[in-house]
Chains A and B, each alone.
Chain A
């Protein structure tokens, strides 16, 4: 299982994402100017300020050569995870519904946030249910049976100034109908003013996922939390076929 982590001029969290992905599989950086995805089984579009984010967060990165390949890869059913700026890029590329707007508090805000896992049967969250200790230490040993269907929560840092999720009414209704709202800010944690407390969304096909909080910064208790590891572990399970849920509807 190999992750490809995109690198744009202005990416900041790409090395963190690379290290996080390497905890569950192989991983390699993919330069923005190249089209070759180098055989990656899943793509991570990392955080940062791609191309300075000067026009609109993510607006220019979506037109990069590597993103052309990622769009094809996603349309063919490949797993794509967008984190923070990566989420913005995926929305700009119309791989995900909706858009990200400036935080309601108008400030860059950095905070450890609690997230409710609304859908634990997706290619990105199938290892996020169940026992926190299991998640922390091995995650891959988590069997289908141990996944708790009930909501679980994740403690993950969020840090952005452009993270207010917005979608119009019909889009939102459709997303809810198709189980595309995957993560919500827990009660009192929605500092950016996201619609409906939405923190992470899936595309209708279930193979593209974006979230504003940073799971790659929550992969070890030493640096605060290991709750984010389950996102990467879920992707591995999905790629290797150990997850057979309805999430990866391809």
Chain B
């Protein structure tokens, strides 16, 4: 090894993503220039991905404590108390850049990584949800104006690539979750042009553990053994964390940016990036999961940590840092897939399906025996020391030594320099719907639009029922509902069935409308948090805690810094008001394509709530002919940043109408209590596409028609808000456009007996709209300006709503 290889210089540091100032600081902490192993480890731990250097100061403003919080941010996953001595662990994480390079493996390993976070704290994973963002798929819709064939893409074009990414990412999520026996119970997907060169793939997982069995990752006990178990270590994802996870994706990094799959652009430089993508093996992870849980169950481990981004480097350093100890690792003891790996390669490898644990020396044999039972590799690779140093050896020879504190805590944190941009930086979408469209035509176009159409073709590729907990599958309720115990379990054995037969459960929702956040990062983020809580309310659940994944562009750009700052402010305000503290999360920055600019700011929110009895869990679809239908809550619809505004090609506004968070929270509480009492037949929150789309979804969900009339009183004294006035087309009046298709927070569509609705109306604003029945959705608008009539059969609605089927044909 030459001197230059042993002691790389500033140029190497810059190439690894460090700044000159950071490199100098590392030299200072090391008392001289770092060698190859040291520089590799610093470059990963001081990357945005590991050090959160542009977001940490903001994240410190978030509420993280509350009566339900058992484990907050900083551990592998957060956890909230769900009663009976049990906790629910959960977290969302992104795998955006790996998915843009190789969507199947990127999405699959994203699921694998988040599942490891859950069982790393001792919880058995019980559910996965996903949150996906792609460019426009350009559906061949007869409800929308046709596009050029070039846009849609035969051999080329943006639509083809977005479709390819969607198809492979969905397959990858299913491949991993289905194979490992954890149900995928929900999720969301949006299609918007700003995601075209930088898709987002976020995965959330939940787990259940006995409170006293939770384990942390802090390495303790000088002399204890550090043991690596799971898959062997290869060259997967070397440099992944710093090269892939923290650099803007240029078009050259993105396969098929200009050519769809099948073009085999092998000469493209993107191919060089391919080997750095990690390959997942769900079978290995299934064994690893069962092995980890059994090791914990038997009390054989002192602490446990999964290996994710930055591999051994990150896991060992984090364990040492949390336990305020040192760790010695000898890379010669790491089981390798390729024999000739360099020490730095072993330390930074992102090979999947591996865990690191600390074991008392007397338990090592028992741990290895259990690894053998589960056919999982295991090897002692190091020891806990009191040196405060991470020391790396190769067959006893030192190859690197760094103060743990310098590695983990001394990365400089940067202040953002936020500046609100003039106007919107995002181009207006292409108009897809004529201004002459009638109310009926608009409703069908919205139902058939990519952001609103039924997600059935996606979720049918996921096992949503394994583990026997799923009470509300996708599209059955606004949030997924699970029992806490596997419901097949006999009541006496599981200890969590109340004596009166009540079956306690949890509900979970994941959401974020990035377009609304782009229009107004503060209000849009508040809306995303409220949307999750509204979804929970509709099934009868009260929020316990929140996780989030902040997907933003380059924070060194002032307007991105402003988006991030405002979004985090909104996140904090909304979570405080809902008493749903943040228990964990993830930040993904630099989500930008070179020519397309930044993605919409997308703070994905995941929220978990509790239900005392899932037998009363709410449904979103109508269930009984003759039920009355009412709109409940402080709903103030507007076309700003709505789906209809998008179809009409409107530019994004630079603010959204303000939201009264407390009023919305009050309506959520009222709906929640009504659902819990069993008084309501159905409850559905009004979201994209407004009231008319929500009505159609309730009809389709229950296979019932409805007759609804929006009288003059519904439109208020002022008539439509300002956005409606510019909506005047020849097909629909401004007032009707806002009332039928306007969006906003805090609106619920409920059905039930008239007495039940009256009782609900005593505590929240309510308009009775009509009744359930027949096989036609009929909506009458009686405005001063005249009227609008929608009259569509269930089969017409269903056909439009099924528009995504073409993507998976």
Using a CB–CB cutoff of 8 Å, the interface residues on chain A facing chain B are 9-13, 15-16, 18-20, 22-23, 47-49, 51-54, 107-111, 157, 159, 161, 214, 216-217, 219-220, 222-224
| Chain B contacts for A48, CB-based, 8 A | 181
Find out whether the CB atom of B283 lies under 8 angstroms from the CB atom of A49: yes
From A9, A157, A224, residue with most partner B Cβ within 10 Å: A9
Q: Which of B157-189 contact A (CB under 8 A)?
A: 171, 174-175, 178-181
Find out whether the CB atom of A9 lies under 8 angstroms from the CB atom of B461: no
Check A159/B463 contact, CB under 8 A, given A9-B283, A48-B181, A222-B483.
yes
CB distance from B180 to the nearest CB of A (A): 7
Find out whether the CB atom of A12 lies under 8 angstroms from the CB atom of B488: no
B251 at the binding interface (Cβ < 8 Å): no
Find out whether the CB atom of B465 lies under 8 angstroms from the CB atom of A220: no
B490 at the binding interface (Cβ < 8 Å): yes
Find out whether the CB atom of A222 lies under 8 angstroms from the CB atom of B283: no
14 chain-A/chain-B pairs, Cβ below 8 angstroms? A10-B179, A10-B286, A19-B487, A22-B488, A22-B490, A23-B488, A23-B490, A49-B283, A108-B462, A109-B461, A217-B468, A219-B488, A223-B471, A224-B465
Bound Cα distance A217, B490 (Å): 15
B576 at the binding interface (Cβ < 8 Å): no
Bound Cα distance A109, B466 (Å): 13
Using a CB–CB cutoff of 8 Å, the interface residues on chain B facing chain A are 171, 174-175, 178-181, 281-284, 286-287, 290, 374-375, 459-471, 473, 483, 486-490, 503, 614-615, 808
Bound Cα distance A214, B459 (Å): 18
Bound Cα distance A130, B283 (Å): 41
| Chain B contacts for A159, CB-based, 8 A | 178, 463, 465-466
Find out whether the CB atom of A10 lies under 8 angstroms from the CB atom of B490: no
From B463, B473, B486, residue with most partner A Cβ within 10 Å: B463
| Chain A contacts for B486, CB-based, 8 A | 15-16, 19
Find out whether the CB atom of A9 lies under 8 angstroms from the CB atom of B375: yes
Known: A16-B488, A23-B490. 16 other contacts (CB 8 A): A12-B180, A16-B466, A16-B467, A16-B486, A19-B486, A23-B488, A52-B283, A107-B171, A108-B178, A108-B461, A108-B462, A110-B462, A161-B178, A219-B488, A220-B488, A222-B487
| Chain A contacts for B487, CB-based, 8 A | 19, 220, 222-223
Dominant SS at the A interface? mixed
| Chain B contacts for A10, CB-based, 8 A | 179, 283, 286-287
Find out whether the CB atom of A217 lies under 8 angstroms from the CB atom of B374: no
Find out whether the CB atom of A223 lies under 8 angstroms from the CB atom of B470: yes
| Chain B contacts for A54, CB-based, 8 A | 283
Find out whether the CB atom of A110 lies under 8 angstroms from the CB atom of B460: yes
Bound Cα distance A175, B769 (Å): 58
CB distance from B488 to the nearest CB of A (A): 3
CB distance from B309 to the nearest CB of A (A): 25
Check A110/B465 contact, CB under 8 A, given A12-B181, A219-B488, A222-B483.
yes
From B174, B175, B468, residue with most partner A Cβ within 10 Å: B468
Find out whether the CB atom of B283 lies under 8 angstroms from the CB atom of A224: no
| Chain B contacts for A223, CB-based, 8 A | 465, 468-471, 483, 487
| Chain A contacts for B462, CB-based, 8 A | 108, 110
Contact residue among A11, A22, A107, A222 (Cβ-Cβ distance under 8 Å from B503): A222
Find out whether the CB atom of A107 lies under 8 angstroms from the CB atom of B471: no
CB-CB nearest in chain B for A219? B488
Bound Cα distance A22, B808 (Å): 39
| Chain B contacts for A16, CB-based, 8 A | 466-468, 486, 488
Check A19/B490 contact, CB under 8 A, given A110-B465, A222-B615, A223-B465.
yes
| Chain B contacts for A22, CB-based, 8 A | 488, 490
Bound Cα distance A16, B489 (Å): 8
CB distance from B327 to the nearest CB of A (A): 31
| Chain B contacts for A9, CB-based, 8 A | 283, 286-287, 290, 374-375
Check A216/B287 contact, CB under 8 A, given A9-B375, A16-B466, A224-B473.
no
Find out whether the CB atom of A49 lies under 8 angstroms from the CB atom of B179: yes
CB distance from B714 to the nearest CB of A (A): 37
Find out whether the CB atom of A216 lies under 8 angstroms from the CB atom of B488: yes
The 8 lowest CB-CB distance pairs between A and B, nearest first, are A19-B488, A12-B181, A52-B283, A159-B463, A16-B468, A217-B465, A49-B179, A157-B465
CB distance from A25 to the nearest CB of B (A): 12
Bound Cα distance A98, B468 (Å): 30
CB distance from B285 to the nearest CB of A (A): 10
Bound Cα distance A223, B614 (Å): 10
Find out whether the CB atom of A222 lies under 8 angstroms from the CB atom of B490: no
CB distance from B661 to the nearest CB of A (A): 34
Bound Cα distance A115, B483 (Å): 27
| Chain A contacts for B179, CB-based, 8 A | 10, 12, 49, 52-53
From A19, A22, A109, residue with most partner B Cβ within 10 Å: A19
| Chain A contacts for B467, CB-based, 8 A | 15-16
Find out whether the CB atom of A222 lies under 8 angstroms from the CB atom of B465: no
Bound Cα distance A44, B243 (Å): 49
| Chain B contacts for A18, CB-based, 8 A | 488
